[in-house]
Structure 1
Amino acid sequence: MKTRLFSLFFLMILGSGVSQTLEVLGKRMFNPNNWDIPLVKDLYLDSNNNIYAYIQRGVPVGQPSSRNFDLLRYDPLNNAWDIVIDNDNSMASIVAFPQGVIGQKDGSVIAVGDKDTNDGHFVYTIEPDGEIIPFGVQPDFTGRNAGSDIKPVQDPTTGDLYYSHNLIDITVERWDGTQWTTLPAIVENISGGSSSGIGIDEEGAIYVVYRDPSTGNRVSVVIFNETTNSWDELYRGSDIVNTVDIDVISSDEIYVTSHNSTNGVSVVHYDGSDFTQLGETIPSFSDSVIRPVGFLRTAVGDLYINVFDPDNGNNAFYVFNRITNDWDQITNNILGGGTISGFLSAMVEIDGAVVVGYNESNAITFIKYTPNILSTQEEEIKKEVAFTVYPNPTDNFVTIKTNISLQQFHISILDISGKKISEVVSARRSGELQVDFSSLSKGIYIIEVEEKKTANKLIKRIVVK
């Protein structure tokens, strides 16, 4: 087994907000074709790490037509966004309002859109060369609008496509490569509409979160049972919500975002056994209602959320602080001066940075946020202590080595939400200790090493495989 050695530092926790500038990618307020109401519906990477942006746009000024789309690709050499597809409204009679998209590694995008009023959905692939390929015979919703909140997901084991929708019923459509199948309704005959979202784990299990009108619009999460061909309830919240969404990382790492018109935005985390709220509810930053419009969990486990103030057209960008167990707002400072305001943003991670797309002044602005090498809420102090933590990932024991006695430290094991799982008490004068991770489920955990005298902390993520 090869051991990687590295130096870590004791860290002093700060109480202030995150101070970090935002870098604009490409031209600010980008609008090359006189777009009207352009929105960034998705940001995604292809297999070569090229960034694509799927733009849902309105009617070009002076031209009567339905909403349509453009596909952009970022050119890092020239710091510019190239138009890959400039849709000329040829699909206006088919796709009136693209509701949800999912980017592919070949640069294409799968989109689900409302067809003409009361005619349901149209599902299609948009190739990078502009070719549009429908997904077989489309689901039949003739005579009624199929509802909103349509977000497609793909089964990583089979490639099957799923999307949830709501208005009359809350249900899920499945494309198996040959035909469409409607799964049993989760809730039938909804009065007044609802809100729903869908996710899928590493084994192909399907999860749906929805606002349940039968319980006074409280949040519910269900999982599809293939054996019984029915939905099993996984979670029912106590708070009344307006909108909900779900991000499934794995079977033991799920995030549910929601907003309440009175309290604000909240995020609930599922660790495979329990649902726990992450931090406090994010309150409104103005005198109007805020709602979540983007959630991202990065490869190293950092959590970001964008919230939107629809009355004033502003976003706020937050990162989760696992030390304080709360959400910290990222300071809105653009490199070179100024701030950004906009709405309905999408996010994607690339090389440790987070790229966000905003509608700003009826145009699109893309910004990149690069976290500090140290945690965004930590500051290096002068005393350096050499640590070695290995192996990582692990499925058994982790060895902690340091150049001073471990008697000087409290050592705790935390889950990804920051909840303490166990404490390790060391009476050793030596600088080496083994910590047993064999009883823990696979996922990301945190080793927190706290110096007894100063309460300075060192944080290290550990992956249990």
Structure 2
Amino acid sequence: PITAMVFASDASGNIAACTSMITVVDNLAPVLTCPADQTVDPGEGNLFYEVPDYFATGEATATDNCTDPVVLTTQDPAAGDLIGDGTYTVTLTAEDEYGNLATCTFELTVESILGVEDNALNTAIVMYPNPATNQVTIANSSNVLLDSAVIYDVNGKLISTTDLSNMQGERSIDVSALASGVYMVQITSQDASVVKRLIIE
């Protein structure tokens, strides 16, 4: 609040005065800029992509008419989260000191780039049923010898590892202990690997 005092005088020198209370209010949200939609590769040998801090990298910016700098920012998925292949909507927010909030979104696509051996293995490997409840079967239609099948949850936590070195065409894996949700199954051979998405009902 600001107190404003106004004076007026006539030709005879008579003076009158009054006061007015002026309240300055910030109703403007910060100006928030999101990165453009982007496609990223987790990198060779990586099953998950680590989400960066888009404000720290400068890809997202927030400016405000009153609050400088804007420090109350959030993003979802959060910086440091591990995400598998797929398309995600990233939501960024910025809030000034008076509670005005700005939001923007962009699409982040995580896509592992497969080599020739990886592509061949991806074509040869079938996982069924999917969605699954009690067990899932991995079928290998190639002559490639498999090493293992490793199941991760969507946060990158290792759930189980199954030895496939003695697999004869097909191998069933017990998944009855898994909670409903989405999991990543990384199937590897000596020279290649492939990731399959598994849904548990």
TM-score, normalised to structure 1's length? 0.25
Q: Which of 368, 379, 404 is the equivalent residue of 2:142? A: 404
Gaps of 5+ in 2: 1-21, 30-41, 63-69, 78-86
C-alpha separation in 1, matches of 2:128 and 2:47: 26
2:72 paired residue number:
344
Code of the residue aligned with 1:368 in structure 2: it is T
Which has the higher relative contact order, 1 or 2, with Cα contacts under 8 A spaced 6 or more apart? Answer: 2
1:369 aligns with 2:97: no
Matches for 1:162-173 after TM superposition, within 5 Å: none
Q: Which of 413, 428, 432 is the equivalent residue of 2:167? A: 428
User: In the alignment, is the contact (CA less than 8 A) between 1:415 and 1:421 conserved in 2?
Assistant: yes
1:457 paired residue number:
193
1:329 aligns with 2:68: no
C-alpha RMSD over aligned residues: 4.1
Matches for 1:44-443 after TM superposition, within 5 Å: 63-64=23-24, 323=46, 327-329=50-52, 332=57, 334=59, 340-341=61-62, 342-347=70-75, 352-359=88-95, 366-374=103-111, 378-383=112-117, 384=119, 385-386=122-123, 387-405=125-143, 407-426=145-164, 427-430=166-169, 432-443=170-181
Gaps of 5+ in 1: 1-61, 71-320
Code of the residue aligned with 1:370 in structure 2: it is E
Deviation at 1:327, TM superposition (A): 4.6
Larger Rg: 2
Q: Deviations over 1:284-341 (max 9, x none)?
A: xxxxxxxxxxxxxxxxxxxxxxxxxxxxxxxxxxxxx8x478955256465xxxx525
Code of the residue aligned with 2:198 in structure 1: it is I
Query: Alignment identity in percent?
Result: 18
SS at match of 2:23: coil
More helix by share: 2
Code of the residue aligned with 1:329 in structure 2: it is P
Q: How many residues align?
A: 141
Q: 1:382 to 1:366 in 2, by over 3 A?
A: farther
User: In the alignment, is the contact (CA less than 8 A) between 1:405 and 1:429 conserved in 2?
Assistant: no
TM-score, normalised to structure 2's length? 0.50
User: In the alignment, is the contact (CA less than 8 A) between 1:390 and 1:399 conserved in 2?
Assistant: yes
Q: 1:442 to 1:406 in 2, by over 3 A?
A: farther
Deviation at 1:358, TM superposition (A): 2.3
